[in-house]
Chains A and B, each alone.
Chain A
């Protein structure tokens, strides 16, 4: 287990080092997310009350699309110079490679959320402070699910450039739909004043989804990559 976690951390640290140097993933996808929030605020802002009602949808659309883009770009790095082959050849459990990529991708998406969340609150007149702990929990659980799914199937795109868009549209988006629906509805209810107990069902559903995709990632990563 120690070797598994150690290998995962080395993979994640490598991705973070490259990102700190190039800033390619967070800046480009973060700007896209920012654009979604700004354009939505201009297009949908009719009144303060209505803005608060559409804010959860705007928030999750920005996060989901920029997040999937971030995961795709992260896997593109493994395709450049065919580095993925060298990683797959390394004597580490291939599940550790999945966990390492997942960890790095999560940090990229959390960084994007750190930009998007305050701006959404600003543009859509949402008072974040009273709901912040619960909102952060929803963001963390919702993000973990779709990033895990994206990381698992994004690896296929790193092996085959021709399948990249097909994998995203046919596999990843339908798979992450339940998690995103849960996250959006729970965030909507939270913005409308729902209590922890009223949101508990959604939280449980998101945890279940996360566990399924974590387990699937660790166990299916190796067979999925062996063509």
Chain B
């Protein structure tokens, strides 16, 4: 799949990316490239640094050394084009799904109103209920809408299929496939081997914070 010409960046490169928590290394000199139109599965055992890498790519933590390049963009300009979906939905439990999406749409400057968002992500009546009353599958659909609303150039997925039923996993896989077709850079962290097998274009393996292979 060739990258969409309208994407603000088509590769994300890490150079010498190192993250220490105190003296404990979580990532050590990771040089990697994530490309548009590809799903890159990041593999490794627990504690290998996968989630730390996602945190750094999402600018939720700062590297101790090294850098991450998002084309010509930096800071908030790059963040505008990053979507993050994790096991936790990252939505306010006491607001309705639509109120949550309305808040994030306003912070991202996504226009078109809530009805357009609802239509785009095919959200049912559950979106009008407080998030705390939603099922795991419904939460995941709302979280997907939150992550995909700004049409991200970089989509980061950290264990997104945890707790989903078969139908939910299928829907998630389908959405990830659509994002790849759209030309997004997709990084997927998962322990779900069949799910990874189904989607992976490339695999990066981390072992105790070090990149072992890029296949």
Contacts and interface: CB of A to CB of B under 8 A. Distances in A.
B12 interface: no
Given A85-B60, A91-B107, A92-B107, 13 more contacts: A7-B107, A10-B103, A10-B106, A14-B95, A21-B94, A80-B93, A81-B93, A83-B90, A86-B146, A89-B79, A91-B109, A92-B76, A226-B62
User: Interface SS of chain A: helix, strand, loop or mixed?
Assistant: helix
B107 A10 contact: yes
Q: How large is the interface on B (under 10, 10 to 19, 20 to 34, 35 or more residues)?
A: 20 to 34
Given A81-B88, A91-B80, A93-B76, A18 B94 contact: yes
Contacts, number: 72
A43 interface: no
A82 B90 contact: yes
A108 B116 CA distance: 34
A47 interface: no
Interface in A128-186: none
B163 to A, nearest CB: 13
Contact of A86 (B59, B84, B94, B106): B84
Given A89-B60, A226-B61, A82 B88 contact: yes
Interface in A16-36: 17-18, 21-22
Contacts of B90: 81-83, 85-86
B79 A90 contact: yes
A89 B61 contact: no
Interface in B60-107: 60-62, 76-77, 79-80, 82, 84, 86, 88-95, 99, 103-104, 106-107
